[in-house]
């Protein structure tokens, strides 16, 4: 009996519970509102097709936010690396070289961010906002503002490998994104590098005195985030078999929302990969779901706002600090603290 209780207690403390609950309720609501659409498997396959690029971006961003920093440039990387990928493939016809260069260009953007932030001391919000403008502007320049069709890539193995349909049904990109989520979970929770990220986000001064190389870790972190965004760009470009200059531009806010819904603290020092995973699926399912439910696309944003609010409150209510009063928990919650810090 005692054992059972403590196990229950453990389950109750499982911090991603609220968000999984939100996702379940959301899907349940959709099934009630549009039973035809949501009882079939097609809608879920379309989620697995469209959400992975944003999920990939959100995973990288989770690491950055856990370190107490922000990166607003990832959506520009989706355009820039996508361009590098499409250009290289169209010019040389070599998909794997295109792939490597796309990842490398993403990493380059991130590396420049990292140098500006860690070495020169520019606040990350400013450095990456500037980067966002610079790299998306450069992409428009280089591509001449045109969109580029890369249909020919369907003949190469890279296409089915990353965005094929497994068994004719399941989009491969969903498995790549899942695999990346598992890898990033291990990096954040089980690797030295992730532990450095946690300590830097928690308290940079503490991190420094206990022997974390803060500067090097931040440079690596932003480089990694650029690399991950480059991978997201490849998934998107391959799925669309097309590059267009503003691709990724609409991802900035939904991807950030996915991370915060998942319970990663804006104050740093705490990040949830599982939360981000569900956060991305919640945000991505909302639009399609709201439209399919027939309540009209213009409700999407409002609903997103409501779901975000609900997730945050649930995270607080079900989160740590049982036994304290609700207002106390609200006041001590990472969200409110984060806002105080930011404000």
Binding track, positions 163-202, relative to another protein; x by CB under 8 A:
-----------------------x---xxxx-xx-xx--x
| Maximum C-alpha span of the chain | 69
57 and 78 Cβ atoms separated by less than 8 Å: yes
Interface with another protein (CB under 8 A), residue total 23
Compute φ and ψ for 295, nearest 5 degrees. Answer: -90, 5
210 binds another protein (CB under 8 A): yes
Nearer Cβ to another protein (59/198): 198
- Our CB check for another protein shows the closer of 213 and 242 to be 213
Q: Which of 93, 202, 76, 232 is nearest to 156 (CA)?
A: 93
Q: Which two tokens stand for residue 237?
A: 């470009």
Q: Which of 46, 203, 300, 303 binds another protein (CB under 8 A)?
A: 203
Among residues 32, 166, 169, 206, the one that binds another protein under rule CB under 8 A: 206
Mask for 101-140, x = binds another protein (CB under 8 A)? ----------------------------------------
What angle (nearest 5°) sits at the alpha carbon of residue 242, between those of residues 238 and 246? 110
Q: How many residues does the chain have?
A: 343
β-bridge pairing 165-166 and 170-171: antiparallel
Token representation of residue 48? 């697995």
Shortest Å distance, C-beta 112 to another protein: 25
Determine which residue in the list 262, 269, 275, 289 makes contact with another protein, applying CB under 8 A: 269
What 8-state DSSP symbol labels residue 296?
-
Q: Could you list the residues that contact another protein (CB under 8 A)? A: 186, 190-193, 195-196, 198-199, 202-203, 205-213, 265, 269-270
């Amino acid at each position: 009996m005692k054992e059972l209780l403590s196990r229950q207690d453990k389950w109750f403390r499982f911090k991603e519970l609220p968000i999984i609950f939100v996702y379940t309720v959301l899907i349940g609501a959709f099934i009630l509102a549009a039973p035809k659409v949501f009882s079939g498997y097609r809608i879920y396959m379309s989620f697995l097709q469209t959400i992975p690029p944003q999920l990939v971006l959100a995973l990288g961003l989770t690491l950055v936010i856990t370190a107490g920093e922000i990166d607003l440039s990832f959506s520009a990387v989706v355009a820039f690396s996508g361009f590098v990928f499409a250009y290289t493939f169209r010019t040389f016809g070599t998909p794997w070289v295109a792939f490597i260069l796309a990842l490398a260009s993403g990493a380059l953007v991130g590396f420049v961010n990292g140098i500006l932030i860690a070495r020169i001391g520019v606040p990350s919000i400013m450095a990456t906002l500037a980067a966002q403008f610079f790299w998306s502007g450069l992409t428009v320049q280089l591509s001449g503002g045109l969109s580029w069709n890369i249909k020919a890539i369907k003949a190469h193995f890279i296409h089915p490998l990353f965005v094929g349909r497994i068994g004719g049904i399941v989009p491969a990109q969903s498995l790549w994104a899942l695999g990346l989520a598992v890898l990033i979970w291990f990096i954040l929770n089980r690797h030295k590098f992730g532990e450095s990220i946690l300590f830097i986000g928690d308290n940079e001064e503490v991190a420094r005195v206990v022997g974390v190389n803060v500067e090097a870790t931040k440079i690596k972190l932003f480089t990694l985030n650029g690399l991950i965004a480059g991978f997201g760009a490849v998934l998107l470009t391959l799925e669309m078999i097309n590059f267009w200059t503003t691709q990724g531009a609409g991802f900035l806010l939904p991807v950030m929302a996915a991370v915060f819904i998942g319970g990663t603290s804006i104050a740093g020092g705490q990040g949830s990969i599982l939360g981000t995973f569900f956060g991305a699926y919640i945000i991505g399912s909302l639009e399609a779901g709201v439209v399919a439910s027939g309540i009209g696309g213009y409700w999407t944003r409002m609903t997103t706002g409501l779901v975000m609010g609900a997730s945050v409150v649930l995270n607080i209510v079900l989160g740590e600090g049982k036994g304290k009063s609700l207002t106390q928990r609200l006041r001590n919650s990472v969200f409110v603290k984060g806002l105080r810090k930011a404000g």
